[in-house]
Structure 1
Amino acid sequence: MAERVIAERCPLPALQADSLYNGFLQTPFWARQKEAFGWKAEAVKWRQGEERGTLLVLIKKLPLGLGFAYIPAAPSLELGTEDREAFLDALSRELRGILPLGCFFIRYDMPDFSVGEDTLPDFSELLKKAPMDIQPPDTVVLNLKDGYEALLPRMHKKTRYNIRLSEKKAVRVEAAGVEKLTDWYELNRITTLRDKIALRPYGYYERLFKELKAEPEARLTLYLAYHEEDLLAGIIVLFNKKEAIYLYGASSNVKRNFMPAYALQARAIQDAVEAGCEEYDLYGCPPSADPDHPMAGLYRFKTGFGGELRHRSGAWDYSYSKLFYTLYTLLEAGRRWYHQSWKKRH
C-alpha cells in the first residue's frame, strides 16, 4: 500500500519549483502577480514517504461562493499513469482540507512532456481532460548549452535567411525595460485587433516588470525592433535561473517583410546564451505541421529555429462535485467556441 500523502500550508517564499521547464509558474513572484489580478495564492508543502515538494495553488472565486483551484506546472512526477493518478487522487483529497469550502474542482497542468509523438495519459474517471488548456501544451525549446553558433546549423535555412535579411534591411534591436512598455503596448493593441484576440490591461505587464525588479534570479527584458524611426515589433522575454521564456510578442502593420520577428528572437537567444541559460522556450505552438491549422504559420516560425518540439498532456481536472463541474465545463466549452471560432469569423 502506498504511503499517505500529507499536505499543509507554508509561506509563499518557501515555494521551490521542482522542474526547470516552466518553473517560473511555481514561484513566489508569479503568485504575487496572479494575486493582483483576481486569484488567491496558497503555498502548500507535501510529502509522501521520502518524496516531498511544494505547490503554488491558485484559487479563482466564482459567483455563489463557488470556485476552483489551478496548479500550474506541478507536480512533476516520474510515475506511470496508474501510480500518478493514485498520487493525484490522494493529493487532491488532502488538499480538500486546505481549499475553500466552495471549491468544486482542481485543475492540474503538469510540466512533464514527451518529444515526438503527442500522447495523452490513460487516466480513469478520477481525472478528466479539461475543456481548455491554460498553458500552451505544445512548444519548441532550444538547447543553449553549446552556444548560439551551434544553433545556426540546426535552424531551417529559411530562418537563417530571414535573420540575415533583417540585418540587411538595417533592422536594429534594442533591449529595454518598463520605461518603453507604453510603446510596446501600442503594438500589442494593434496585434490584438488584427488577430482578434483579447487585450490584457496595461497594468498586467507593468506590474510583472515591477514585481521582478526585486527578484535576484529572474528578470524581464523588453526587446524592440526598429527600422529608422519606425517601431516594427517587440517581445517580452523572462530570464529565470537557467531558462529563458519568450512570453509575449506584438508587431505593427508596417514593414513586416523586414523580418523584425526574426531579428528579435535572434537577439534574445544570444542574450540567453550569454546569461548562462540552458534552454530557450518559444512558449506555445501548434502540435504538428498541419497546413490547415489556423496557426500553421506560427508552427513554421517557431520550429524554424531548430528546437525540440515538446508535447505536454495539458490540463486535467479532479472534481469534488460532479454537478457543479459538469455545469462549469459546459460553460467553459461554450466560451472556448466563442473565442476560437465565432469571434474570429466576425
Structure 2
Amino acid sequence: MGYRLKTIKRDEHLAFVRARPSISHMQVPAWGDVKPDWRAESLGWFDERSRIIGAGLVLYRPVPKIKRYLAYLPEGPAIDWFAPDLARWFHPLLAHLKSRGAFSVKMGPPVVARRWKADAVKAAIADPEIRRLRDVTPSMEERRAYAITDRLHRMGWRQSDDGADDGFSAGQPRHVFQVPLAGRTLDEIQSGFNQQWRRNIKKAEKAGVKVERGGYEDLPVFYELYRETAERDQFLPRPLTYFQGMWTALIKEDPDRMRLYLAHHEGEVLSAATMLTVGDHSWYSYGASTGRRREVQPNNAIQWRMMCDAHERGARVYDLRGITDTLDESNHLLGLLRFKAGTGGEAVEYLGEWDYPLNKLLHKALDLYMARR
C-alpha cells in the first residue's frame, strides 16, 4: 500500500525544504518559476498520521499537438531513498503523473554511489591505461545505492543514457566535484589545494584582483562575459532574460538563495560567477570570464571567495557541479576536471537519471527524437 500523495501549496513545500539540512536547488518551489517553458507542480507524500514525509517538484514539458507531457523531477524527489519498499513512494507518484497527462517520467535520485579523493583522481589522469573515472577504485562506496538501483529496475525504471562520456549532456550531471567544508577551517581548506591553486590565489591578491558581490543590476555585466565564454567554449548560451528570471524567482523565495560575484582588476570585470545555496549545500552554478589578463588569475580568486562565503554561512559542502567521466587527454573537458581537482575535494558519482515510460510508444518516439537531435 502506497503513501498518500497530493499536490501541496508552495508554502508547504518550502516549509518541508527548510526543515531538511538541504535538498537540491532544483527541488525548491521557486525553481519552477526559473523554467517558464515547463509547468511546475509541488507534490507531497503523507503518512498515516497526515504528516508530510517527502516532497518533489515536478516540471511538465508539453509535447506539441498531442497535449501530453514529459514529467521531470530534476535531482529529486526528496524522499527516503533507502526505504526497503520504494514502491510505496512510486506507485502513487506514477498514478498521479499519469492522471496529469504524462507519458514519460524522468527523475534524478539524489543518492551518492561513489566518491574519489582528489589524489586518486590526479593519479588516474596521469595513468595512460585508465580511460574512465568509473574504472578507478573509489575512495568510498555506498553499497546501499546498488540496492536502490536493483529496486528501481524491478519496478520498471531504466537508467537514462546520461552522457557519461562528458557529464554535460541533456539532464543533470551524474558526476560532480565537491569540496567538503564541514569541520574544517579556511586555512585547512586552502592547505588542501594543490600548489598551483595556492599560487594562483596569491597571484590574484598581489595583482590587486578584487572580488565583490553584485546584484540584479550587474547581471548584464555577467552576461557579456558569459556570451564571450560561450563563443570561446562553443556552447549555446542562454538569454540574459533567463538569468534575470532566475534571480527574481530565487531571491523572492529566499534573499540569499542566489549570489552573483564579480572579479575586478584595474577597473575591468574579468570574471563572474553565480552561487546557489539551499540549507547547508552551496553550488557554483554559472561561471563566465574574458580571455584578457588571465595571468592575474581571476577565476581562482572568485572561486576562493565563494568558498569562503559558503563556509562563513555554514555550508557543509561547496559543489563545483559537473565533471567529465572520461580521462582521455583528447577530451576538451579534461582541463576543467584538472582545475576542479586542484581544490583537493572529491569526485562524486550519483545514481544518474532514470526514466519510466507511462506510454511506451510515445516514450520511444521521444527517445528517437532526442537521439536525432
Quickly name the TM-score band, shorter chain normalised: 0.7 to 0.9
Pairs aligned (count):
327
Residue 71 of structure 1, CA deviation = 0.7
Residue 97 of structure 1, CA deviation = 5.0
Percent pairwise identity = 29
User: 1:96 aligns to what SS in structure 2?
Assistant: helix
Deviations 1:257-305 (A, max 9, x none): 3221100001111111122222211111123644343310111111211
Q: Hey, what's the Cα distance between the residues in 1 that align with 2:261 and 2:287?
A: 9
Residue 13 of structure 1, CA deviation = 2.0
Residue 30 of structure 1, CA deviation = 1.3
- Contact 1:7–1:94 under 8 Å retained in 2: no
Moved more, 261-270 or 91-100: 91-100
Match of 2:277 among 239, 249, 264: 239
- Contact 2:45–2:89 under 8 Å retained in 1: no
| Alignment partner of 1:209 is 2:212 | no
Match of 1:135 among 172, 180, 204: 172
| Alignment partner of 1:227 is 2:265 | yes
Normalised by the length of structure 1, the TM-score is 0.86
Residue 131 of structure 1, CA deviation = 3.3
Kindly tell me: are residues 302 and 20 of structure 1, through their superposed partners in 2, closer, same or farther at Cα, counting changes over 3 Å?
A: farther
Residue 224 of structure 1, CA deviation = 1.1
Moved more, 268-277 or 206-215: 206-215
Q: Hey, what's the Cα distance between the residues in 2 that align with 1:104 and 1:54?
A: 21
Q: Hey, what's the Cα distance between the residues in 1 that align with 2:305 and 2:262?
A: 10
Matches within 5 A, 1:62-81: 62-64=63-65, 65-75=67-77, 76-79=79-82
Partner of 2:347: 309
Query: Which structure 1 segments of 5+ residues have no match?
Result: 336-346
Normalised by the length of structure 2, the TM-score is 0.80
Residue 329 of structure 1, CA deviation = 0.9
Q: Hey, what's the Cα distance between the residues in 2 that align with 1:192 and 1:44?
A: 36
Matches within 5 A, 1:128-207: 128-132=158-162, 133-145=170-182, 146-207=184-245
Kindly tell me: are residues 93 and 67 of structure 1, through their superposed partners in 2, closer, same or farther at Cα, counting changes over 3 Å?
A: closer
Query: Which structure 2 segments of 5+ residues have no match?
Result: 117-133, 135-144, 163-169
Which structure 1 residue ranges, 4+ long, deviate > 4 Å from structure 2? 18-22, 48-51, 117-120
Partner of 2:165: none
Kindly tell me: are residues 125 and 29 of structure 1, through their superposed partners in 2, closer, same or farther at Cα, counting changes over 3 Å?
A: closer
Q: Hey, what's the Cα distance between the residues in 1 that align with 2:258 and 2:61?
A: 26
Partner of 1:32: 33
User: 2:177 aligns to what SS in structure 1?
Assistant: strand
Deviations 1:126-167 (A, max 9, x none): 112223451122112222222311101221222112211222
RMSD: 2.4
